[in-house]
Amino acid sequence: MSATPLMSATPFSTRIVCIGAGYVGGPTMAVIALKCPDICIHVYDLSVPRINAWNSASLPIYEPGLDEVIQQVRGRNLFFTTDDSVITQADIIFISVNTPTKMYGVGKGRAADLKYIESCSRRIGELVSHGHKIVVEKSTVPVRCSVAVRKILSANSKGTATFSILSNPEFLAEGTAVSDLMRPDRVLIGGDQDAKGLDSIRRLASIYERWVPADRIVTTNLWSSELTKLVANAMLAQRISSINSISAVCEATGADVDEVARGVGADTRIGPKFLKASVGFGGSCFQKDVLNLVYLCESLQLTEVAEYWHWVVRMNDYQRRRFCEKIIKTMFDTASGKTIAVFGFAFKKDTGDTRESSAIEVVASLLEEGANVHIHDPKVSFDQVKTDLEMRIDDPRVRQLIYTNVTMSPTAEEAANGAHAIAILTEWDLYKTLNYEAIYSTMSKPAFFFDGRSMVDPKVLRAIGFDTYCIGKATQHPAQFFYETS
Ligand code: UGA
């Protein structure tokens, strides 16, 4: 499908181009287009299949409510294109490309890989020869990234063009992207504090003000905005690692992690959100952004600060390992030749995204043990599962098992049929209400249940006959404390 009628021929008040048609760029631009019919928006991506999908009936990402928004705005004032010449006519250019953790060279495993930010800054510089453009960092970037963007833009711009750089990080979460964008807690805009910078901030703020109350639009200097995004994710991840660390204490003491979280979260200074114990957080952001913060602190020689934040990620690794070890140990120290039904592969419910999902780690560990794995997930394809496992598993012996020992089941019931155990790894609502009594009757005995999301009441499962382990709940055979023995 072609990009649009030529933008200059349209009566639009402002022209926006967003580079990057991913989880952030697509939904964000769809909501801006919906709320501002007088603004013409082009979303550009160099991937032809991705743009074709955005232009088709089956969008490249699953996000509740997104289809409806896209249907209203696509072809009206929102266009998806692989033609980057649209950049030349834009007033505002959003950079919304991937900044994954760097997997090579300096900063490997920690620093953000800025190669896509760099290449699109270079391209903007090459294409734009005159006028003033506002360039907005939407992607999560390391602090002071805007310095590099500015340098690349001016080094590549051949004409009289001038640029203002703004930081406008995204706080939407996958699975709730549309409602997060419609009703954000805050919109953060950072920019230079000189006249030109403040004017650019004002201009971007005036777009959000069409539907976001003015007191929720927070403006700061550039570095504060870039750092705030990293710190917000680091703090959220820290809450999950904190409650997950307590889940281990609960299991050993008979306390119940959900009850502890409720009691702790009732303190208004702490609040109830992000205190749900789990098999570990996943997603493309938390681990990447915490490691990015660690790298920043290391670069600043703030060793203790780096260590402090690094433990948030280490605790997450520990929680995943602990869950896998529990499965193996409980099933008489071996899962070899046994079948485990894995319920959920996405990193959280209401998304088909599997990036950094704890399920990848758990399934890889089960394969290392020689188990068979039957996976069910309402939104993840078998191809995606295989790709994730291929990327994760190096050992050729274990890699081979991806093709012989892993199957994808169309229903949870089918995944569990004949299996020795069920492991819930994603909190899809449907797993709360399955008929576990009927499922139990189709499984090999003794039938085990490992609830990595504390979704089902362990008392109910035990009454059915399952040997049950639930994260953060008293185990079926609790250890005795030294002070309990006489
Ligand atoms: C996260 C942040 O929540 C967004 O504000 C941010 O904009 C986004 O990263 C980003 O930087 O782009 P997201 O990764 O989509 O959003 O998903 P979350 O809802 O934050 O969940 C992350 C992981 O934590 C999931 O695996 C989830 O299951 C887990 N989680 C979440 C828990 O284990 N316990 C909780 O209480 C909450």
Please, which pLDDT band fits residue 478 given cuts at 50, 70 and 90? Answer: low
Of 326, 411, 408, the residue nearest 369 (C-alpha): 326
pLDDT of residue 10: 61
250 is catalytic: no
Q: Determine the 3-state secondary structure of 100 from DSSP.
A: coil
Q: What is the pLDDT of residue 485?
A: 55
Summarised one tens digit per residue, pLDDT across range 208-227 is 999 999 999 999 999 999 99
155-214 pLDDT, tens per residue?
888 789 999 999 999 999 999 999 999 999 999 999 999 999 999 999 999 999 999 999
Span from the CA of 393 to the centroid of ligand 1 (angstroms): 25
Q: What is the pTM of this model?
A: 0.93
The pLDDT value recorded for residue 212 is 98
Q: What is the mean pLDDT of the chain?
A: 93
- Judged by phi (left if over 0) then psi (alpha if -120 to 50, else beta), residue 300 lies in alpha
Residue 469 pLDDT greater than 60, yes or no: yes
Q: Is the CB of 112 under 6 A from ligand 1?
A: no
In testing the pocket of ligand 1, which one of 231, 260, 273, 278 has its CB within 8 Å of the most ligand atoms? 278
For 356, left (φ over 0), alpha (ψ -120 to 50), or beta? left
* Catalytic position from the list 63, 137, 170, 427: 170
By most ligand atoms within 8 Å of CB, the mutation choice from 168, 286, 290, 291 for ligand 1 is 286
Nearest-atom number in ligand 1 for the CA of 180 is 5
Whether 87 contacts 93, CB under 8 Å: yes
- Whether the per-residue pLDDT at 56 is higher than 60: the answer is yes
For CA atoms 404, 405, 408, 411, the dihedral sign is positive
Could you tell me if 54 and 81 are in contact, meaning their C-beta atoms sit under 8 angstroms apart? no
Is the CB of 292 inside a 6 Å radius of any atom of ligand 1?
no
Residue 1 has pLDDT above 50, yes or no: no
At residue 11, the pLDDT reads 81
Which pLDDT value is given to residue 46?
94
Answer for the pair 171, 186: CB distance below 8 angstroms, yes or no: yes
pLDDT digits (tens, 9 = 90+) for 81-98: 999 999 999 999 999 998
> With 80 as the cut, is the pLDDT of residue 486 above it?
no
285 has catalytic annotation = yes
Q: Give percent above pLDDT 90 in the chain.
A: 85
List 424's β-bridge partners, or say none. Answer: 343, 451
State whether the beta carbon of 275 lies less than 6 angstroms from ligand 1: yes
* Residue 408 identity: M
Q: How much is the average pLDDT of 242-265?
A: 96
For the cut 70, the answer to whether the pLDDT of residue 479 exceeds it is no
pLDDT in tens, 293-332: 999 999 999 999 999 999 999 999 999 999 999 999 999 9
* Residue 250 confidence (pLDDT): 96
Do 95 and 29 meet the contact criterion of CB atoms below 8 Å apart?
A: no
Establish whether 229 is a catalytic residue.
Answer: yes
Q: What is the pLDDT of residues 269-289, one digit of tens each?
A: 999 999 999 999 999 999 999
**In which band, very low, low, confident or very high, does the pLDDT at 140 lie, cut at 50, 70 and 90?**
confident
